[in-house]
Amino acid sequence: MVKPKFGIEFVPQKHPEKIAKSVAMAEEVGLDYAWITDHYNNRNVYITLTVIAYKTSKIKIGPGVTNPYVINPCWTASAVATLNEISGGRAVLGIGAGDKATLEGIGVSWEKPLTTMREAVTIIRKLLDGEKVSFEGKVFKVKSAKLSYKTETRIPIYIGAQGPKMLALAGELGDGVLINASSPKDFELAVPAIKEGAEKAGRDPSQIDITAYTCFSIDEDRNKAREAAVPVVAFIVAGSPDTVLERHGISIEAANKIRECIGKGDFPGAFKLVNEDMLEAFSIYGTPEDCTGKIEELLKKGVTQIVFGSPLGADKKKAIQLIGEVVKRFK
């Protein structure tokens, strides 16, 4: 088994200084990556990452994930290259097709996701590699674009993917793939799709970092960990396609009831409907021992990086310390 890597996700809902303190704690307990989410309604991802860069020294940092609909790939290349420069070569880029509902809510049409991602990643990779780029695509058109400075180290590009076609694209073009999933069942399907995409492109699949971007909640008290995971799982269930629900044996009727409650703003009602099957399918929660066992199962399925995602736990500071204890068991 390949020695696993470990990352952590933070949503920049608080002041960038506070997020940077949390990332510094994560670095101190031995985590390898910090992924910062990119949504217009939170603090700006690159400003937050800049503060993090100056408050840390070893941990790799980047957006997890940005998208090519809101931000042109040339601007993304410039932003992540600058982040790499100020962080001493620690930048990574997570990019995905984005959330259709959120994008359409701000007047951005979510069209041709596969083509958009293929073209965006191609342009970004060429710019980061120092090339002058002229590109005539179906979505993006670029004439003689070039960064005015060099990136001293190669910046890895991670593609956010869920469906088989996007997973195959990640295998074809990405240095890694970020998969929003916590269950081994999801990786039984995802890993072969990534490998197929890599092999068709003549790439070695073992060189691709397969990342489980989990809903994670840890506490010495299992019930506290469970309670913290419930709200996040409720929203995951509400947003999951029927095919995913069926894969995990979750009743579509039960999921619809949660969707109905969330739609009405009845969040307590939605949270009460979350059951153990849903928690098992869409989260890793429990004591350090519980979580260690679940991580081991993911690694057996071909996962090479675990990202500890929201909510982390009932108490975030305590959760980071406990995550550090879990990580030590694998290092």
Q: How many Å apart are CA 84 and CA 154, to the nearest integer?
A: 9
* Chain mean pLDDT for the chain: 96
| Longest CA pairwise span in the chain (Å) | 58
Full DSSP string of 208-270: SEEEEEEEEEE-SSHHHHHHHHHHHHHHHHHHS-HHHHHHTT--HHHHHHHHHHHHHT-HHHH
Nearest Cα to 319, choosing from 309, 328, 304, 329?
309
Nearest Cα to 215, choosing from 280, 139, 274?
280
pLDDT band at 1; cut points 50, 70, 90: low
pLDDT of 144 higher than 90: yes
Q: How many Å apart are CA 62 and CA 74, to the nearest integer?
A: 16
Question: Strand ranges (DSSP E) for the chain?
Answer: 5-10, 33-36, 60-63, 93-95, 133-136, 141-145, 157-160, 176-179, 209-218, 284-286, 305-312
Q: Which CATH superfamily is domain 5-221+283-330 in?
A: Luciferase-like domain (3.20.20.30)
pLDDT band at 99; cut points 50, 70, 90: confident
pLDDT of 136 higher than 70: yes
239: its two tokens? 């947003």
Q: How many Å apart are CA 191 and CA 100, to the nearest integer?
A: 25
Do you know the residue count of the chain? Answer: 331
pLDDT of 141 higher than 70: yes
State pLDDT tens for residues 225-250.
999 999 999 999 998 989 999 999 99
pLDDT of 304 higher than 90: yes
Q: Residues 53-60: what's their mean pLDDT?
A: 98
What's the pLDDT at 7? 98
Whole-model pTM: value is 0.95
pLDDT band at 102; cut points 50, 70, 90: confident
What's the pLDDT at 316? 95
State pLDDT tens for residues 24-45.
999 999 999 999 999 999 999 9
Q: Residues 41-65: what's their mean pLDDT?
A: 98
What's the pLDDT at 117? 98
Nearest Cα to 11, choosing from 34, 36, 44, 45?
36
